[in-house]
Chains A and B, each alone.
Chain A
Amino acid sequence: MPISPTALAPTALTGDPRRRSTHARRPLVLLALGIGVLATALVSLMLGSNLISATAVLAGLFDPAQDVASVVWGSRVPRTVLGLLVGVCLGVAGAMMQGQTRNPLADPGLFGVSAGASFAVVIGVYVLGTSSVLTTLWLALAGATVASVVVFSVAALGRGLSSPVPLAIAGAAVSSLLVALTSFLVLSDETTLAAYRIWVVGSLSGRSLAGVDAALLFAGVGMVFAAANIRSLNNLALGTELAHGLGENLLRARLVGLAGITLLTASAVAISGPIGFVGLTAPHIARRLVGGDHHWLLPASGLVGAVVLLVCDVIGRLIGGNAEVSVGVVLTVVGGIVFIAIVRRGKMATL
């Protein structure tokens, strides 16, 4: 029985023809996802260390004179907005990355990218002594770019991007290297350790809205790149030869995609710290809902990402008691299960 490591079933990425009925209901699905995001946002505003009823939340939102307004506007609105932003960015970036690599395990948070961002941010704290959102943003951008370029070139030089194992191993190798260098800096300076250990788990609490406008700008530009990349992503789904035959400029498609992925990932990482597995999980759920056409997949994946992130954040608030569990940790457990489920699925068994 010949087994090919790259037989990763493009059908998994481009959609199953048997599910043609999904095409008709795609606008409805998007609408439902939008409502889902709003509902999750409302739940995220309601739940926390003390429960606020939905009516009270709405009253507080629109009437600053209410008692609850300070809680709602002071802590829960920023947190929810940040969660939405991070979730959308990571969801879209994940769908783009899986489309670009045709690899179902691609995730902007795994595979070295967040390790690169962390290393750059630690250098910033260590050398410049600053951890403002704007500096973090630039450093995270630089680190994420360098690390992702290294990881993907290593995998591409090996057996090709669409084979999961080289990509995963390249990510693991680059991560270990960066983590070793990061720990060296962190160990030699306790203030750096203090800043780093809080930042590295990925959390929405204690992150303020200050400096978010810069991140929002980055994310906006990233979204433009993502939108510009949609047609190329659909062509790339057919394989590089066919995409080339269809008149696709591969280099431009790759560069636009890389720019979009990096900008979106870096803005998410700068806001919340590295959060893995959103970019892995969201596209898989979205693909089931709307199929593999990236016109629908990217927005759906962004919305799913927002829902996933907010739900995990709320879970973290609830299970921790007084000391809440940060969203990065919840996702690391939830996402780990999803990751293993994807690997165990029938098609991956042919690795």
Chain B
Amino acid sequence: MTATTANQPAPQPGNGPGSRPGPRPRRAEPSRDGHRFFGRQWQGRVVVVTAVCLLLAIAAALFGIVAGSSSLTVPDVVRTLVGGGTRAERLIVLDLRLPRVTAGLLVGAALGLAGALTQTFARNPLATPDIIGVTSGASLGAVSAIVLAGGGYSVAAGLLSLGLPLVATLGALVTAAAVYGLSWRGGVDSYRLILIGIGATATLTGITSYLIAKAQITDAAAAAQWLVGSLSGISWASVWPVLIVLVVVTPIALLQSTNLEVSQLGDDVSTGLGVALQRHRLIVILCAVLLTAAAVSASGPIEFVAFVAPQIARRVARSGRPPLLASALVGAIIVVGGDALARGVLPGEIPVGIITAVVGAPYLIRLLTRRNTKESTL
């Protein structure tokens, strides 16, 4: 009950100094009810959008392999990928660029999918893993692995490849459980979830800074580097966990698609339509947390991808909720494209996490300022 009603905040004209009088009428956008009644009509568009996104992701990956200090052409890359190419080309493409681009694709897809799941689940575009604290939980876990690994660099390196994903997942799971449990008051209200997530994020970030302040300067530098979210120095070893999680979780998430669609109608209606609501929620949250933890442990927290990708996919597909596969693909495009942009076009090597934050934060701010009372219906 709470979740349904809370998503329709009443407009409160003139409460703050800058608030505008009343909600603005939306433009010729189809209403949400329209989607629901003519749901099938839009399915075609979603399929087309997903296919286009797949092509774009492949293009971005090729661009990602081509971009960089040593010049390669697209035909060179394709030839090397299918087994040809010189020794040098094979080294650059297969050992240096391919793991990085693959990791970017997988991390972006995992973040996009996780964002789509939480946004749909909470029926609120602001409810992304970044904001509800899952990312900072994973970060705290990973940073404690980096910092507390003993200080010896070789020991840490061994532990990192094995332990970091596990500790990050643990941190994400514990945080998600705590935030979700604390927001529970006879139901989870999406705004309470978001606020408690923000509080949890502040606390976890504080503890993370403390760990960094207490660490050896080399560990601190490693942790700071990692916390920005970067694909540099990534190897095949860190690609596998993300791949495994993505392969396992994506089908499960897709199986929940119908339930997600139905649960948009509200808790009472979806229970009436035969959705086992609690089990559905638990599965969705677990999927989102595992995806986030896998992505964060591979590349560090790449901010705002989980927030922006589903929103872009939803707008392009003109659907009522973020389409899952398209969101994952848009996430992959953003991460790989941003990383390639940083390597190929911009001077120096800016970590991709900074690029996504610089692009994503203004988008979030714009969303806040533009939509007076309509956040929840985004």
Contact = CB atoms under 8 A, between A and B. Distances in A.
B373 A250 contact: no
Nearest to A254: B17
B237 interface: no
A332 interface: yes
A54 to B, nearest CB: 31
A11 interface: no
Interface stretch (A39-47, A123-131, A162-170, A281-289): A162-170
B361 A177 contact: yes
Interface centre among B12, B185, B303 (most CB of A within 10 A): B12
Interface centre among B189, B303, B368 (most CB of A within 10 A): B368
Contacts of B303: 176, 180
Nearest to A199: B213
B92 interface: no
Interface string A295-324: 000000000000000000000000000010
A35 interface: no
Interface centre among A153, A158, A179, A325 (most CB of B within 10 A): A158
Contacts of A335: 202-203
Contact of A172 (B10, B198, B214, B348): B198
A348 B185 CA distance: 11
Interface stretch (A75-83, A135-143, A184-192, A223-231): A184-192
Nearest to B364: A173
Interface stretch (B24-32, B268-276, B321-329, B351-359): B351-359
A198 B361 contact: no
B144 interface: no
Interface string B15-26: 111110000000
B63 interface: no
A343 B199 contact: yes
Interface in B330-371: 348, 350-351, 353-354, 357-358, 360-362, 364-365, 368-369, 371
A161 B10 contact: no
Interface string A323-336: 10110110111011
B194 A168 contact: yes
A105 interface: yes
B310 to A, nearest CB: 16
Interface stretch (B75-83, B93-101, B221-229, B248-256): B221-229
A172 B201 contact: yes
A329 B16 contact: no
A171 B126 CA distance: 13
Contacts of A221: none
A158 B351 CA distance: 31
Nearest to B16: A160
A236 to B, nearest CB: 10
Interface string B169-203: 00000000000001101000101101110111111
A158 B194 contact: no
Contacts of A179: 357
B363 to A, nearest CB: 9
B311 to A, nearest CB: 14
Interface string B145-183: 000000000000000000000000000000000000011
Contacts of B220: 193, 197
Contact of B353 (A160, A180, A198, A349): A180
Given A3-B9, A157-B369, A344-B182, A187 B351 contact: yes
Interface in A54-109: 101, 105
Contact of A154 (B199, B351, B368, B375): B368
A253 to B, nearest CB: 10
A186 B222 CA distance: 12
Given A162-B15, A166-B368, A333 B357 contact: no
A197 B212 contact: yes
Interface residues of B, number: 67
B228 A5 contact: no
Given A169-B131, A240-B14, A348 B192 contact: yes
A271 interface: no
Contacts of B194: 165, 168-169
B209 interface: yes
Interface centre among A165, A180, A193, A333 (most CB of B within 10 A): A180
Interface in B1-50: 1-2, 5-6, 8-10, 12, 14-19
Contacts of A29: none
Contact of B210 (A3, A201, A241): A201
A165 B199 contact: no
Given A181-B354, A184-B354, A329 B196 contact: no
B304 interface: yes
Given A3-B9, A158-B372, A343-B192, A336 B200 contact: yes
B338 to A, nearest CB: 12
Contact of B185 (A160, A188, A201, A349): A349
Pick the 3 closest A-B CB pairs, nearest first.
A160-B16, A332-B206, A336-B203
Interface of A: 1-7, 101, 105, 110, 153-166, 168-174, 176-177, 179-181, 183-184, 186-188, 190, 193-194, 197-198, 200-201, 239-241, 250, 254, 276-277, 323, 325-326, 328-329, 331-333, 335-336, 339-340, 343-344, 348-349, 351
Interface of B: 1-2, 5-6, 8-10, 12, 14-19, 126, 130-131, 182-183, 185, 189, 191-192, 194-196, 198-203, 205-207, 209-210, 212-214, 217, 220-221, 224-225, 227-228, 303-304, 348, 350-351, 353-354, 357-358, 360-362, 364-365, 368-369, 371-373, 375
16 contacts: A1-B1, A2-B5, A7-B12, A156-B18, A161-B16, A163-B15, A165-B375, A169-B368, A174-B365, A240-B16, A277-B202, A328-B210, A329-B207, A335-B202, A340-B199, A344-B196
Given A180-B303, A193-B220, 19 more contacts: A169-B364, A170-B365, A171-B198, A174-B361, A179-B357, A180-B354, A181-B354, A183-B227, A183-B228, A187-B228, A193-B217, A200-B209, A201-B213, A335-B203, A343-B192, A344-B192, A351-B6, A351-B189, A351-B195
